[in-house]
Structure 1
Amino acid sequence: MMRRSRWHLGWVLMLVAAALLVLFPRAIDALKSLEQPAAPLRAGSLLVARPGRVSENFDETVVLLLDAGAQRRTWGVVLNRVHTRQGERLPEGVDRWGGPVNPSLHITLTLRHPAPEGAQPLLDGIAWYEGRREAHLPIGESLTFEGVSAWSPGQLEEEVARGAWWVLEGQPADVFTAPGSLWEEHAVRHL
């Protein structure tokens, strides 16, 4: 009797395993279909780092792309870091850490109308320019970043294809929101 019961258990386990082999890929496909399609990589797009899939420089970051293209370098600034990656304080007049590349470069995002001469329009009402915030502008209307985040041609596309980033359409509110909760607000939609 014991032998027959083991035989039945074996068959049941094999049937369950076969069912899982058939159903598991379908369940994964169903879950993938619920994901929002990735926005195109272009100036104004947001990159939201997926947990455990990016380098430690970008853990729990949201990057605003300033320029993107398959044939040229893609770059932007990290919106939600108020210290360097090593936890160091930023210099006076710098509001956020923009990324690990070229720390001597300063980029300012501004709501100022009209935008300063030479500023590049980005999102509705927001422009960016190279340099620090003009002294007379209040912090709530402009943010200065130290350093940038940059990828060589095709590098970011490959990272997105392997699932390192969620790509979203950027909104003006994303830029001037509290940096502490920005990643969580975007990541929770995908987790």
Structure 2
Amino acid sequence: MRRLSPRYSVWLLLLTGLAALVLFPRLIDTLKAQEHPSLEPKAGRVLVARPSGVSDTFHETVVLLLEAGEGQRTWGLVLNRVRAPDEQPLPQGVDRWGGPVHPAHRITLTPRPHPPEGARRLLSGLSWYETDQTTQPPADSSLAFAGVSAWGPGQLEQELALGAWWVVEVRAEEVFTPPGNLWAALAARHL
């Protein structure tokens, strides 16, 4: 059997190392995907922004989907932003910044067992309803949001195909997790 020259051995070793660097992360992603099967986006699930997966607008965000699915508009609320994008304080009576569009739009999430008339049930123990800028949300553990996050037809599906988001099921109480801990807690399920 003929031995390779030291020069060819070094090249072979370098090529093997480069192949491992390229293939190893893909193998890890494949194994993680099997461990956490992909979920379809639907109302009541959250989108967790993957590191470097989405624009700066959604960096380290968690978006609760209020409506999603075929034939429906896809929109929701960023759960973990306590300031507007320009770092300005939120309007009076608003707890969180819900998203980059329609800043005048107001949504309230409530864990109340008997939500107000017109509220839409999202999860067991969680409902949402629209308010206007003059309506004061209840003083209980409800959260009031200004603005929403919305996707055009096919836009979210394209972002999901590019690996920008994890779709995660949550319980109602997780929606009310302090905003500073929410992204890390949900992203840790996939890291």
Structure 2 counterpart of 1:138: 139
Query: Are 1:69 and 2:69 matched, yes or no?
Result: yes
The answer to whether the Cα contact below 8 Å between 1:73 and 1:153 also exists between their aligned partners in 2 is: yes
Instruction: Give the distance between the partners of 1:28 and 1:90, measured in 2 at CA.
Output: 41
Distance change >3 Å, CA 12–CA 42, structure 1 → 2: same
Does residue 1:120 correspond to 2:108, yes or no?
no
Residue-pair matches, total: 186
Q: 1:92 to 1:53 in 2, by over 3 A?
A: same
Return the TM-score normalized by structure 2. 0.87
- Alpha-carbon RMSD across the aligned residues, in angstroms, is 2.5
Q: Which residue of 2 aligns with 1:103?
A: 103
Residue 46 (structure 1) shift: 0.6
Output the CA distance in 1 between the equivalents of 2:107 and 2:101. Answer: 12
2:40 counterpart of 1:40: yes
Unpaired stretches in structure 1, ≥5 consecutive residues? none
Matches within 5 A, 1:1-191: 7-14=5-12, 17-18=15-16, 21=19, 24-25=22-23, 28-35=26-33, 36-131=36-131, 135=136, 137-140=138-141, 142-191=142-191
Q: Mark the CA change 1:136 to 1:59 in structure 2 (over 3 Å): closer, same or farther.
A: closer
Q: Match of 1:77, as an amino acid?
A: L
How has the CA–CA distance of structure 1 residues 70 and 136 changed in structure 2, closer, same or farther, with 3 Å as cutoff? closer
SS in 1 for 2:75: strand
CA contact (8 A) 2:40 2:167 kept: yes
1:33 positional shift: 1.9
Structure-2 change in CA distance of 1:176 and 1:27 (3 Å): closer
Q: Partner of 2:82: helix, strand, or coil?
A: coil
**Local SS of the residue matching 2:77:** strand
SS in 2 for 1:160: helix
CA 91–118 in structure 1, closer or farther in 2 if over 3 Å, else same? same
- Tell me by how many angstroms 1:51 deviates: 1.6
SS at match of 1:21: helix
Deviation per CA, 1:50-105, whole angstroms, max 9, x where unpaired? Answer: 12221111111000000001323200000001111121100111000000111111
Check conservation: 1:71, 1:154, Cα contact below 8 A: no
Mapped to 2, the partners of 1:175 and 1:31 lie a distance apart of: 27
Q: Which moved more, 1:17-26 or 1:112-121?
A: 17-26
